[in-house]
Amino acid sequence: MPVHNADVAAVLNEIADILDIQGENPFRIRAYRNAARVVGELGKELGELVKEGMELTGLPGIGRDLAAKIQEILETGNCATLNKLHKQVPPSVTQLLNLPGLGPRRVRALWHDLDIQTVEQLNRAARDHRLSELPGFGPKTEQRILEAITAHAGATARFKLAVADQYARTLIRYLRNTRGVKDAVVAGSVRRMSETVGDLDILVTTDDTTAVIASFVGYDEVREILSKGKTRSTVILNSGIQVDLRVVTPDSFGAALHYFTGSKAHNIAIRRLGQKHGLKINEYGVFRGNTKVAGDTEESVYRSVGLPFIPPELREDRGEIEAAEHGLLPKLVELGDLKGDLHAHTRATDGHNSLREMALAAKARGFEYLAITEHSRHLTVARGLDPTRLLRQCDEINNLNAELPNITLLKGIEVDILGDGSLDLPDSILAQLDLVVGAVHSQFHLSRTRQTDRLIKAMEHPYFNLLAHPSGRLLGSREPYDIDMLKIIRTARRCGCFLELNAHPERLDLLDTQCQMAREEGVLIAVNSDAHSVHDFDNLVYGVGQARRGWLGKTDILNTRRLKALRVLLKHKV
């Protein structure tokens, strides 16, 4: 059975959760959480890297003991250590940590003092006002817990795009190896590159429907079969994600792919347009009366209503149909258009590879340049650089540039934007760099006015080039800070600086709608990996997907420029 990075990270995180609830050594807990983070952030499947000969102990913070546990998970999908811990702490207890306001200490108190092991038990105890009897709780905490339980019950489980994509790619490979399968593709929100995914939609064309359905429901990762029909089946994978499989005929493939790619609003708009042309459009084809007139390809579906092909990423009913009618659809950026990456870290701060290793990895991808942008001194948790260490790295970059052909390392910094909008390093240092990337890593809860003014002041700095992860959000764990994004975008235009679209799967920041806003205001966007290892460049595909959702073309992206043109733009402010 395939074991994905997300599966390995989930096991390691659960071990850390149980140890935390037990009050174990914090250094041991931190080691497991760090390992989970490292594995979860890899841009390539860990199992594939191991098959290629990578040593697990080569990953940062992974010693022999952790490497052995990870290898065990990769080989078996399980871990003896976790099984042992489950005998000490019921697995359901760790689920309580998913509720806001419940950390390990409070969960430990709930379990030991009230024998609460499930969310349902917690709900009953809170309604009976038994929680307020515990030290450190009280009536207000009890009420917040009730509110969190209500919100949790109404939430629909969604998966980050990169995680859902892992499961989809493995399943597609499996299905394509099934007897009689002509093609298997993923549709739905994964194909539209939505930042989160509720379920997977898979389409298959085949000569042997029975064999495909049997192969699908017999897939090793299937936990539960919800339905099994002649042309459609639905299962739940071990990860919890639902997969809907539909077997379609070749002459209906395009219509089905259009229908199941969505979005619902886009499909409704296309069907209404079809009605104006006297056509009926559904997942089986395009019909005039009882005669099928199109549907073997998506292009034929759009052509039947007088439109050119609309890329999946644009199908959200946000003006794409009107743009298509008037010949105004943008030619969207592609991954191969990127000439370099303007946000990367090495082990000089919190990265996992050396300067040379990052340079060679960028060169292997065909990049002309890579900006090395370590954290600055204010971010002590990442061992940020002070002026002395930064200048030392600049010398190392100069030496490496003299040695390595066909790749140029740019001297940069991800400088902290302090609470008052000033930058974390002196002008005398910033002036010596090729690129200054500003970022917020603290004081996320300032008022809208103060946070906006903070960023504007930073962007007005003469050496400021690029605003990193502009909204500060982390998908599923941290909401964006409150800023006036239009004012930020217009400040970037006025000051001659740029905004980042951070491709890290936890961020995907800017939002697609904000990318579209920047495009309309004439502000260039840098699609960056925020790479902390040589594998993280793989995540650029998700950043490009987000850029395409935001209607961005090649010319709208800063780092599609060749190095000479890029340098001119970066020096524009000085």
Q: pLDDT tens digit string along 418-456?
A: 999 999 999 999 999 999 999 999 999 999 999 999 999
- Is the model's pLDDT at 574 over the cut of 60? no
**C-beta separation of 526 from 552 below 8 A:** no
Q: How many Cα neighbours within 13 Å face the side chain of 379?
A: 20
The H-or-E segment that residue 341 falls in is strand 340-341
* Residue 291 scores a pLDDT above 90: yes
Distance CA 112, CA 531 (A): 42
CA distances from 432 to 341, 345, 368, 370, 563 (A): 20, 18, 21, 17, 18
Walk across the sheet containing 340-341 and list its strands.
340-341, 369-375, 408-416, 435-439, 466-467, 498-502, 525-528
Gap between the Cα atoms of 409 and 370, Å rounded: 5
Angle between helices 119-127 and 138-154 (to 10 degrees): 140
Measured distance CA(46)–CA(43) in Å, rounded: 9
d(CA 182, CA 172): 12
CATH topology for 252-325 is: Beta Polymerase; domain 3 (3.30.210)
The whole-model pTM stands at: 0.86
Helices 387-403 and 355-364: angle between axes, nearest 10 degrees: 50
pLDDT computed for residue 472 by the predictor:
95
Rounded CA Rg of the chain: 26
Rounded to the nearest angstrom, the gap between the alpha carbon of residue 439 and the centroid of all alpha carbons in its chain is 19
Same topology between domain 159-247 and domain 252-325: no
Q: How far apart are CA 514 and CA 235, in angstroms?
A: 36
Q: Residue 469 phi/psi, 5° resolution?
A: 25, 75
* Residue 296 three-state SS: coil
For the cut 70, the answer to whether the pLDDT of residue 156 exceeds it is no
CATH number for the region 335-570 comes to: 3.20.20.140
Which percentage of the chain shows pLDDT scores above 70? 99
pLDDT in tens, 490-515: 999 999 999 999 999 999 999 999 99
pLDDT tens digits, one per residue of 296-338: 999 999 999 999 999 999 999 999 999 999 999 999 999 999 9
**DSSP state for residue 434 in the 8-state scheme:** S
Q: CA-to-CA distance for 172 and 570, rounded, in angstroms?
A: 42
| Res. 551: pLDDT tops 90 | yes
Residue 92, C-beta contacts closer than 8 angstroms, at least 6 positions apart: 117, 118
For the chain, which residues make up each domain, given as ranges?
5-154, 159-247, 252-325, 335-570
Give me the CATH code for the 5-154 domain, please: 1.10.150.110
Distance of CA 353 to the CA centre of its chain: 21
Rounded Cα gap, residues 77 and 500, in angstroms: 37
Q: Assign 154 a pLDDT band (cuts: 50, 70, 90).
A: low
Contacts of 452 (CB under 8 A, 6+ apart): 483, 484, 487, 488
Instruction: Note the Cα 256 to chain centre separation in Å.
Output: 27
> Which CATH number fits the domain 159-247, given the four candidates 3.20.20.220, 3.30.460.10, 3.30.70.260, 3.40.630.40?
3.30.460.10
Instruction: Give CA–CA dist 345/351, Å, rounded.
Output: 5
Q: What is the sign of the dihedral through the CA atoms of 131, 137, 142 and 146?
A: negative
